[in-house]
């Protein structure tokens, strides 16, 4: 078993990074070379702006290279709860932004010729209990009527041709997609560099100073100045950006990938070949990889740590979960086990905009693989003085009382959700 991300291990390494010192003045500096930052850099560079990307590790090292590989349209919440919390107009706008996000990635992949196995697969939200299907059906009725007709309610009988495990029904979201995340992020970085963006890897931002409209960013490899700064670091935001640290909860998400499955194993397990997510509070998400592995993830442990020891412990929990859902794969070999941090907000709605001299997009709360590219491009357009299309503009983002960036309360949150799953 390899304790590395499958996406990292099976993708080409980005080789277009700048080799010299970090220096010079730029129209825009992007902190973080994940989907958000690279999409913004590409958009800016295409418009003729001089742009630099500063990445603490390497391209795609964070959440962009450590997720489950889903591009699911729709919200992290049910549409009904989002409408109750945000109001109908904003809930619809945010839902449609996630739809647009998948379209944006599809168009970008085609325009740049990125070989990343993009495919419109559809997503199944699977009811783990009978009462969960009732809730899914209520949400479907409102969603289908008000915002997304490309959805379908499936019965338990309908699911027999979709998945080799007994669930109590599901909602199918037909716009959802999947792709190889490692190949996409490498291709996105290559595209940004080809359009003129300067990408510095191993260049963590250790200090930021601002005088008027001019920012100065310091790294171990030198410093640059810029007229605009975009913070696109999500769960990996450092303490020197304390405003965001007080609002982002970093939560571990862990994933395993099996060996490649045979035709018979796929037919018995995932004949529908869609992205899937279960309805439990501490649920699982899964899909087949391009080389026919089952990629199976979830919040196996409520922890803000992801290293080999933590990932291994979480992997054991995931293997048990895999066997519970698919007993036919109980003894299948696991080739990969990895983890990463998800940037959660208290209300699980993402945030993007401008604060205290810097632009930002983060807090994707597990739905960033699709939305991040789209928001990166939207914020780049705002920097360029184009129409502001930010669907999150003006959404309040209060800090979390008593919180400074270290989520000491996660074990208690985990116990709470485990209790809910037992009784609901």
For the cut 70, the answer to whether the pLDDT of residue 308 exceeds it is no
Q: What is the pLDDT of residues 1-15, one digit of tens each?
A: 999 999 999 999 999
CB 31, CB 233: distance < 8 Å: yes
State the average pLDDT over residues 214-224.
96
Using pLDDT thresholds of 50, 70 and 90, give the confidence band for residue 408.
low
CATH assignment at residue 360: 3.50.50.60
Specify the pTM: 0.95
In a domain, 195, yes or no: yes
| Alpha carbon of residue 166 to chain centroid | 28
In a domain, 119, yes or no: yes
- DSSP symbol at 22: B
CB 180, CB 7: distance < 8 Å: yes
Task: Specify the 3-state DSSP secondary structure of 310.
Answer: helix
For the chain, the average pLDDT equals 93
In a domain, 247, yes or no: yes
Residue 280, pLDDT score: 82
In a domain, 306, yes or no: yes
In a domain, 237, yes or no: yes
CA separation for the pair 293, 1 (Å, rounded):
14
CA separation for the pair 376, 53 (Å, rounded):
13
In a domain, 394, yes or no: no
State the average pLDDT over residues 29-49.
98
**Count of domains in the chain?**
1
In a domain, 391, yes or no: no
CB 99, CB 38: distance < 8 Å: no
Token pair 């003045």 is found at 25
Beta strand pairing call for 275-278 and 123-126: parallel
Two tokens at 141? 């009725």
Using pLDDT thresholds of 50, 70 and 90, give the confidence band for residue 302.
low
Residue 96: which domain range? 6-383
Q: What is the pLDDT of residues 317-343, one digit of tens each?
A: 899 999 999 999 999 999 999 988 889
In a domain, 411, yes or no: no
**CA distances in angstroms from 94 to 71, 74, 88, 221, 380, listed in the order given:** 15, 8, 10, 39, 19
CB 2, CB 342: distance < 8 Å: no
């Amino acid at each position: 078993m390899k304790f590395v991300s499958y996406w990292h291990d099976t993708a080409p390494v980005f080789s277009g990074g700048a080799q010299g010192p970090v220096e010079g003045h730029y129209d825009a500096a992007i902190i973080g070379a994940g989907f958000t930052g690279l999409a913004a850099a590409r958009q800016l560079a295409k418009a003729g702006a001089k742009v630099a990307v500063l990445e603490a590790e390497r391209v795609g090292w964070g959440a962009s290279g450590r997720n489950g590989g889903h591009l699911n349209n729709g919200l992290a919440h049910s549409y009904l709860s989002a409408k109750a919390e945000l109001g109908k107009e904003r809930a619809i706008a945010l839902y449609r932004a996630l739809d647009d996000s998948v379209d944006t990635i599809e168009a970008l992949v085609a325009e740049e010729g990125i070989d990343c196995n993009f495919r419109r697969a559809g997503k199944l939200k699977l009811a783990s209990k009978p009462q969960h299907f009732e809730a899914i059906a209520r949400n479907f009725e409102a969603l289908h009527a008000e915002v997304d007709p490309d959805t379908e309610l499936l019965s338990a009988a309908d699911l027999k041709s979709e998945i080799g495990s007994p669930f109590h029904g599901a909602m199918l979201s037909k716009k959802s997609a999947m792709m190889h995340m490692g190949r996409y992020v490498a291709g996105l970085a290559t595209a940004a560099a080809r359009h003129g963006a300067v990408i510095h890897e191993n260049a963590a931002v250790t200090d930021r100073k601002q005088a008027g409209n001019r920012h100065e960013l310091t790294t171990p490899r030198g410093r640059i100045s810029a007229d605009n700064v975009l913070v696109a670091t999500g769960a990996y935001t450092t303490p020197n950006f304390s405003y965001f640290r007080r609002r982002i909860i970093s939560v571990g998400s862990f994933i395993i990938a099996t060996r490649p499955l045979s035709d018979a194993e796929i037919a018995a397990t995932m004949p529908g070949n869609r992205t899937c997510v279960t309805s439990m509070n501490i649920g699982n998400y899964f899909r087949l990889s391009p080389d026919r592995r089952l990629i199976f993830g979830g919040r196996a442990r409520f922890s803000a740590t992801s290293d080999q020891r933590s990932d291994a412990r979480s992997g054991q929990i995931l293997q048990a979960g895999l066997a519970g859902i698919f007993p036919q794969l109980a003894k299948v070999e696991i080739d990969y086990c990895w983890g990463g941090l998800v940037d959660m907000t208290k209300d699980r709605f993402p945030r993007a905009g401008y604060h205290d001299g810097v632009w930002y997009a983060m807090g994707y709360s597990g739905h960033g693989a699709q939305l991040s590219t789209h928001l990166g491009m939207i914020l780049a357009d705002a920097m360029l003085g184009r129409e502001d299309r930010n669907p999150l503009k003006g959404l309040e983002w209060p800090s979390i009382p008593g919180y400074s960036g270290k989520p000491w309360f996660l074990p208690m949150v985990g116990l709470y959700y485990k209790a809910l799953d037992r009784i609901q």
